[in-house]
Amino acid sequence: MSAIRVRFAPSPTGYLHVGGARTALFNWLLARKQGGTFILRIEDTDVERSTKESVDAILQGMEWLGLDWDEGPFYQSDNFPLYKEHVRKLLDAGKAYKCYCTAEELEARRDLAMKEGRKPKYDGTCRDRIDQLDAPFVVRFRAPQGGEVAFDDLIKGRIAFPADELDDLIIQRTDGTPTYNFCVVIDDAIMKITTVIRGDDHVNNTPRQIQLYQALGFPVPQFAHVPMILGSDKARLSKRHGATSVIAYRDMGYLPEALLNYLVRLGWSHGDDEIFSRDEMIQKFDIGNVGRSASVFNTEKLNWLNAHYIKSGDPERLADLLLPHLSSRGVSTLNGPDLVAAVKTLQERAQTLEEMAERAVFYYSAPADYDQAALAKFDKGHLATVYSVVADRLAASAAASAAELDALFKEICTDNGWKMPQVGQPTRIALSGGTQAPGIGEIVQVLGVEEAVRRIRTAHAFVTA
């Protein structure tokens, strides 16, 4: 195993969204590619907003995607004593100080700075005071002055910030709890994280964190900031663009391999390749090939990939995955035809498991009504004759396979001077209720000849009533 150590560190204040899943995927791929260690850390220091339900949703999303972790999950809330210890170290070394400024005082100074055209950063009022007041205080990091803080981002290249623009960061609140930027540095250092891959909304946090690493004597990891994901209107991806939860995509009938394949291509490329198995992703992934520009989420592209994986998927696995989608429609497969056989007739044309489930309902529930517009295209006398002839010929035939049944329908057409649409469409409507269904031979094979004949005779009674 290599020395590379990466982490995915979500906050448990909601579900695992697609942006977080992509960040997790990039970390996971880098670790698997280089034989390193992928760590899962739950950043739950925001006690008021963090929930067990969110933790469970994050873990469920990770497990569904198959992003297995080597260490963890670790919880930041378990490390409060460790954070306090390092705050004390900085205070004792003079690299941090107590700040007694009230919120009102800070707000007034910020307003004045804005009016005078100055950067609204903390003005250092308490930086050099030596008295100890009996009043609430925060602990601020004494940020080095002058020069710049720079780092070589693995995606964006060299990034530099003038040190004078970085104010004295609060590292401990008045209630004694540590702040995000401080906790992250301690955790990454203690866990020996070598490479931090995260969203580029963290770019502005990085110089402050680098200063903290250096002040505490920790090695500074490499950084890679992944551009954000946008909606079709080029605004940051949000609920108004549609589902953003990984589990929501599962419930909408997407396969995990399709979503992974889509996410890996959302900002990363390997030539013109579009379809990658999990092993191919690992083999070909290079963090340096992640683009610097934001990516636009395209549902049509995801649907295309999902259709590919459904079409090429194992029917038995797809049948298992289809069961919850059928159950949500009140459909039981216990007394119906073999679900694997039904899946084989549907996977060629379905984009999602939800779509497949909708199209599979007729196999387990005979149509209670028929597509009237489709039936109206045929004369009632013709429909009655077709249904009578087809039911009789099917009942007397030994045909069982889809190919044999298709051949029988061709014979029926030849014997009666009909064209296939004149027989196929009416029969498809009788069997499924509509026209959007698999081939006639496939339907009859899955339903069984006896059930097919029963449905056709029911349709005959309907058109002759």
Q: Of 293, 311, 329, which closes a domain?
A: 311
**pLDDT for the residue 1:** 55
Amino acid at the residue 111 = D
Q: Do 186 and 82 form a contact (C-beta atoms < 8 A)?
A: yes
Task: Indicate if 455 and 379 belong to the same structural domain.
Answer: yes
Query: Could you tell me if 200 and 243 lie in one domain?
Result: no
E strand intervals along 163-302 = 170-172, 195-199, 222-226, 229-230, 295-296
Is residue 239 over pLDDT 90? no
Written as one letter, the residue type at 221 is P
Same domain, 200 and 333: no
**How much of the chain exceeds pLDDT 90, in percent?**
87
Q: Is residue 28 part of a domain?
A: no
One domain, residues 103 and 186: yes
Query: How many structural domains does the chain have?
Result: 4
What pLDDT is recorded for position 271?
A: 85
- Out of 350, 365, 380, pick the residue that ends a domain: 365
Is residue 424's pLDDT more than 60? yes
131 is a domain residue: yes
Q: Is the domain of 292 the same as that of 331?
A: no
Same domain as 350, residue 401: no
Top pLDDT among 247 and 232 is at 247
Sheet holding 37-42, edge to edge: 5-8, 37-42, 71-75
Where residue 304 falls (left for φ over 0; alpha for ψ -120 to 50; beta otherwise) is alpha
CB 390 within 8 A of CB 427: yes
Looking at the DSSP assignment, which residues form a beta bridge with residue 71? 39
Which single residue is written with the structure tokens 């925060």? Answer: 138
Q: Are residues 361 and 381 in the same domain?
A: no
Residue 263 inside a domain? The answer is yes
CA 221 to chain centre: 27
Q: How confident is the model at residue 418 (pLDDT cuts 50, 70, 90)?
A: very high
* pTM of the complete model: 0.92
pLDDT digits (tens, 9 = 90+) for 95-123: 999 999 999 999 999 998 888 888 888 99
Task: Kindly state whether residue 57 falls inside one of the protein's structural domains.
Answer: no
Q: What is the mean pLDDT of residues 125-149?
A: 94
> Has 344 been annotated as catalytic?
no
What is the reported pLDDT for 121?
87
* Residue 45: per-residue pLDDT: 82
- Tell me the per-residue pLDDT of 369-392, one tens digit each, with 9 for 90 and over: 999 999 999 999 999 999 999 999
pLDDT of residue 321: 98
DSSP helix, strand, coil percent of the chain (3-state; round to 5): 50, 10, 35
Identify the domain boundary among 226, 250, 277.
Answer: 226
Is 86 in the same domain as 217?
A: yes
- Identify the pLDDT of residue 50: 86
Residue 324 has pLDDT above 90, yes or no: yes
201 and 136 together in one domain: yes
Quote the pLDDT of residue 351: 98
Strand locations in 27-135 (E):
37-42, 71-75, 96-99
Q: What would the pLDDT profile of 405-415 be if each residue is shown by its tens digit?
A: 999 999 999 99
Q: Nearest 5°: phi and psi at 243?
A: -65, 135
In the prediction, which pLDDT does 429 show?
A: 97
Statement to judge: residues 170 and 246 lie in one domain? no
Sheet holding 96-99, edge to edge: 96-99, 138-141, 170-172
The answer to whether residue 30 sits within a structural domain is: no
Q: For position 114, what pLDDT does the model report?
A: 87
Q: What is the pLDDT of residues 28-39, one digit of tens each?
A: 999 999 999 999
Range(s) of the domain holding residue 380: 367-465
pLDDT in tens, 152-163: 999 999 999 999
pLDDT at 32: 97
The CA angle 135-137-141, to the nearest 5 degrees, is: 155
Residue 244 pLDDT level (bands cut at 50, 70, 90)? confident
Distance CA 448, CA 143 (A): 77
Percent of the chain with pLDDT over 70: 98
Residues 323 and 305 occupy one common structural domain: no
**CA–CA gap between residue 288 and residue 153 (Å, rounded):** 10
Residue 55 lies in a domain: no
Q: If residue 207 lies in a helix (H) or strand (E), which one and from where to where?
A: helix 206-216
Asked whether residue 284 is domain-assigned, the answer is yes
Q: Name the active-site residue from 119, 239, 377, 410.
A: 239
**pLDDT tens-digit profile of 181-200?**
999 999 999 999 999 999 99
Q: Which residue has the tokens 């004792």?
A: 92
CA distance 144 to 211: 8
Query: What mean pLDDT value characterizes the chain?
Result: 95
Per-residue model confidence as pLDDT tens digits over 253-310: 999 999 999 999 998 988 888 999 999 999 999 999 999 999 999 999 999 999 999 9
**Domain membership flag for residue 15:** no
d(CA 51, CA 57): 10
Q: Looking at residue 318, what is its pLDDT? A: 98
Question: What size, in residues, is the chain?
Answer: 465
Strand, helix or coil at 91? helix
pLDDT, position 242: 65
Tell me, yes or no, whether 101 and 208 share the same domain.
yes
Q: For 52-88, how does the pLDDT look when each residue is reduced to its tens digit (9 = 90+)? A: 999 999 999 999 999 999 999 999 999 999 999 999 9
What CATH number should be reported for the domain holding residue 265? Answer: 1.10.1160.10
Pairing relation of β-strands 170-172 and 138-141?
antiparallel
- Residue 207 sits in a domain whose CATH number is 3.40.50.620
Which CATH number is 465's domain given?
Answer: 1.10.10.350
The answer to whether residue 42 scores a pLDDT higher than 60 is: yes
